[in-house]
Chains A and B, each alone.
Chain A
Amino acid sequence: MSEESSSDSVRKLVLPGDLMETKSKPGRGIFRSEGQIYASVLGHSSDKSGYINVNAISGRYNPKIGDKIIAICAETGPSIWRMDIGSSFNSTLHHSESGWKVPFGDTARFLAIGDAVWAEIFMVDAAGTHQISLKKDDCRKLYSGTIVKVDTTNVPRIIGKQGSMITTIRENTQTRIQIGQNGYIWIDGKGEDIALAQKAIEIIDQEATSKGLTNKIEKLLEK
């Protein structure tokens, strides 16, 4: 959901079990029963290019291949790490996808429990298990800084139209910020700058659906 589409058309709130009266094909958040289509999740419906979707408002992060995310180590094995990415299941990071030369059983030396990484999802299978990789683009371990967790569905709001919102926060607080698609946000900088950026992000997360948010954030950051 971009900011544009949210202001252009009036979105309709649909609840699970609502009948969707449309000739479009069923897309996300939809189920079929006896020739009719119904919404399966709480969200906003959109009827575009022949498909009807219901975009969920809440719920856990649903991993997709290629998503850039922030993962936190939850468990270490002899040759793998189990990483918390805020979805239903922990993700696996195999040593061969880490980019480090890890001796067998020595995983914790590279990534201990609680350490965070900027990673990419490179495999998702039908059983719901997924793996992440550190061998892509700018993927790396994250040192210092802090991590804020927000609702996945609010991530587009925090980034803003073409990154406008996040650029505002970055420039006004002099912090480095990386936003994972999973709603984990890494902020690095000076202590009070981090606190300010964190506050701004938390406000956006709480009031994601209200209007005039950009002005409110600008005001907060100017102080």
Chain B
Amino acid sequence: MAGQTDMELIKNGVRLDGRKPDELREVKIVAGVLDNADGSCYLEWGNNKVYAGVFGPMECHPRHKQKADRAIVQARYTMAPFSVNDRKRPGLDRRSTEISYIASQAFEKVVMVEEFPKASIRVDMQVVEAHAGTRCAAITAASVALADAGIPMRDMIPACASGKVNDVVVLDLNKEEDNYGQADLPLAIIPSTKEVVLLQLDGHLTPDEFEKAMDLATSGCMDLYEKMRNALDNRYGGSA
């Protein structure tokens, strides 16, 4: 955001990677890839590559974080040191702490936490390759992993970003658009009710543009939701 470039990000309505403004990057989702997790998912979204693993419900540690009447969701978002161009110092930093927190909040909205008092559901999201939009990719992957783990929830939550590039509202920003664009708006919704569980905005949008960006991101989420369903269908469907 706010970086300067001579690149023409949108030319004749076509973006740098050849997409139209309302097009998603290519998404590939595979459920159940990790043996030791209760549920897991591998997701490729453009050049993003993310693993998500779900552990639990299990006894919550540290004990003071336990809730007597419900479970808590402990999400953890981390980026691998090799996931970006300049080596990233491993471990939690300010950015990943924030994303972990908002992801936990989003998942607690859909997971039926009241069914598991005093428990903790751990959601680990590991970004192995980052190319803008990793928080959305991680949350989407984690939703599939949660379903794969057999955890009761109200719905899966797809997450998708929209933004503004060269004064055009576009869906699903890539790396260049994220770095040199004008706005970035990650959104996660509950598809059945269209309830918003995560919404952030970086940059500037007019009220009209904001409405348009929300609509675009919502439709992106719905597209993604179909792909999430297909991933679980591929793993478990066709049986019986």
A88 lies within 8 A of chain B by Cβ? yes
Contact A41 B116 (CB under 8 A): no
Which A residue's beta carbon lies closest to that of B152?
A: A40
Contacts of A10 in B (CB 8 A): 240
| Complex alpha-carbon distance, A31 and B115, angstroms | 12
B236 lies within 8 A of chain A by Cβ? yes
A140 lies within 8 A of chain B by Cβ? no
Contacts of A209 in B (CB 8 A): 236, 239-240
Contact A58 B240 (CB under 8 A): no
Measured CB to CB, the closest approach of chain B to A92, in angstroms, equals 13
Contact B38 A58 (CB under 8 A): yes
Which A residue's beta carbon lies closest to that of B31?
A: A42
Per-residue CB proximity of B24-44 to A under 8 Å, as 1/0? 000000000000001100000
The number of chain B residues touching the other chain, given as a range, is 20 to 34
Contacts of B236 in A (CB 8 A): 13, 42, 57, 209
The number of chain A residues touching the other chain, given as a range, is 20 to 34
Per-residue CB proximity of B103-114 to A under 8 Å, as 1/0? 000000010100
Known contacts A42-B232, A90-B59; A16 and B148 CB within 8 A of each other: no
Most buried by A among B68, B110, B150, B236: B150
Most buried by A among B116, B152, B237: B152
Contact B192 A42 (CB under 8 A): no
Contact B59 A88 (CB under 8 A): yes
| Complex alpha-carbon distance, A168 and B27, angstroms | 45
A136 lies within 8 A of chain B by Cβ? no
B153 lies within 8 A of chain A by Cβ? yes
Per-residue CB proximity of B41-62 to A under 8 Å, as 1/0? 0000000000000001111000
Assuming A16-B155, A42-B150, A60-B150, what are 4 further A-B pairs, CB within 8 angstroms? A13-B233, A41-B151, A57-B150, A88-B58
Q: List 22 A-B contacts (CB under 8 A).
A: A6-B240, A7-B240, A13-B237, A15-B147, A15-B156, A16-B110, A17-B155, A17-B190, A19-B192, A29-B152, A31-B154, A42-B232, A58-B38, A59-B150, A59-B151, A60-B56, A88-B119, A89-B58, A89-B59, A89-B118, A128-B116, A128-B119
